Amino acid sequence: METRNFGNTDIQVTPVGLGTWAIGGWMWGGTDEAQSIDTIHRAIDKGIGLVDTAPVYGFGRSEEIVGKALAGGRREQVALATKVALNWNDDHDKVWRDATAGRIEQEVEDSLRRLQTDRIDIYQVHWPDPKTPMEETAKALDNLYKAGKIRAVGVSNFTPEQMEELSRNVPLHSLQPPFNLFERDIEQEILPFCREKGIATITYGALCRGLLTGKMREDTEFTGDDLRKNDPKFQGERYRQYLNAVAELDAFARERYQKGVLALALRWLVDHPGVTTALWGARRPEQLEPVGDIEGWSLDQEAFDAIDEILGRCIQDPVGPEFMAPPSR
């Protein structure tokens, strides 16, 4: 897979990265460690050069699995990204934002230990914390950056104003926002801001919690702690609108490119101006088989316009990913 410069750093990444939220198990119905390690190995073998995780994904479980998977020489094959600034209680039933210096100083050491590494390539503030002064957060990150424990400073789910405020006290290298064919709010202000400032982007939610795989049906059931039970996209008439859009996008991709909707959704991201890396979440090795389907072709402006026409016609009641935002303290 080709590589790209990660903003204004010396880090190289691939256009597709592996997202490991589901591997952590929390809100995804549990995890299988051996299967998850095989999935990470398969991703690397297929040329994926960025692995993204976070402490809150399984309350350390995802990071531990990633660490085990990268042990034995694979660590040098990927850019490793993780996050900070969420906290939780012992029962794991409450999560809140916490970007205090103390939390950052504690969590970086926990992440380094779980990941079995001496440095984190891309360290991202998971959500902005309105209860903590931005200057405090920035200076804590700057200390880690100067100490060499992190190679790049990133944020996730930040506005341009919040990025500007943080960058007054620490170099800011990247943003991780939600972005896919169905969730496109960042096109208006955030992506143009990042392009102007030279800020790399790692977009998450490429397949919109599975909607864009083409495998969802009206009678698909979500059980246990599956977050889609609370996702408004998967409920009622709105769910039917999104399924209709998926069917039309799939037909368009097959007619035009002899590809399925999953490949179209990823190619749309890879070709989108301002996207550095699009995360692809996978839990099983076989889910990565379509990686090769996004190579060797691209979307032109006519295709982008045709996709927009399908979306505008099929989805009358769009909704974003706002339901996933954790509360402040």
The pLDDT tens digits for 210-258 are 999 999 999 998 877 787 888 999 999 999 999 999 999 999 999 999 9
Does the pLDDT at position 324 exceed 90? no
Cα distances from 271 to residues 121, 274, 304, in angstroms, run 24, 9, 10
B/e letters for 72-86, b = 16+ CB within 10 Å, e = fewer, are eeebeebbbbbbbbb
Strand, helix or coil for residue 245: helix
User: Tokens 């410069």 label which residue?
Assistant: 5
d(CA 153, CA 147): 13
Kindly tell me the number of DSSP H helices and DSSP E strands found in the chain: 10, 12
Does the pLDDT at position 24 exceed 70? no
Largest CA distance in the chain: 55
Q: Where are the domains of the chain?
A: 4-211+267-298
Q: What string of DSSP letters covers 48-109? A: --EEE--TTTTTTHHHHHHHHHHTTTTGGGSEEEEEE-EEE-TTS--EEE---HHHHHHHHH
DSSP structural state of residue 13: E
Q: How confident is the model at residue 100 (pLDDT cuts 50, 70, 90)?
A: very high
The pLDDT tens digits for 112-127 are 999 999 999 999 999 9
**297, 295, 292, 83 alpha-carbon torsion, rounded to 10°:** -130
d(CA 33, CA 111): 18
Question: What is the identity of the amino acid at 196?
Answer: E
> Quick one: CA dihedral 29, 31, 207, 57, positive or negative?
positive
Please list the active-site residues.
57
DSSP structural state of residue 15: S
**Average pLDDT for residues 145-168, to the nearest whole number?**
98
**Average pLDDT for residues 3-24, to the nearest whole number?**
92
Mean pLDDT (the chain) is: 93
DSSP structural state of residue 209: T
The DSSP H or E segment spanning 200 is strand 200-203
Q: Taking the chain, what is the end-to-end CA distance rounded to the nearest angstrom? A: 42
d(CA 233, CA 147): 43
The pTM of this model reads 0.92
d(CA 44, CA 49): 6
Q: How confident is the model at residue 30 (pLDDT cuts 50, 70, 90)?
A: low
Q: How confident is the model at residue 1 (pLDDT cuts 50, 70, 90)?
A: confident
Does the pLDDT at position 25 exceed 80? no
Mean pLDDT lowest among 13-27, 72-86, 174-188, 303-317: 13-27
Q: How confident is the model at residue 325 (pLDDT cuts 50, 70, 90)?
A: confident
Print the SS3 string covering 262-306: HHHHHHHHHCCCCCCEEEEECCCHHHHHHHHHHCCCCCCHHHHHH
Q: Architecture of 4-211+267-298 per CATH?
A: Alpha-Beta Barrel (3.20)
**Average pLDDT for residues 164-181, to the nearest whole number?**
98
Q: How confident is the model at residue 46 (pLDDT cuts 50, 70, 90)?
A: very high
pLDDT at 225: 75
Q: How confident is the model at residue 29 (pLDDT cuts 50, 70, 90)?
A: low
pLDDT at 283: 85
pLDDT at 179: 97
Cα 312 off chain centre by: 25
Enumerate residues 6+ apart whose C-beta is below 8 A from 107: 55, 84, 85
d(CA 99, CA 295): 39
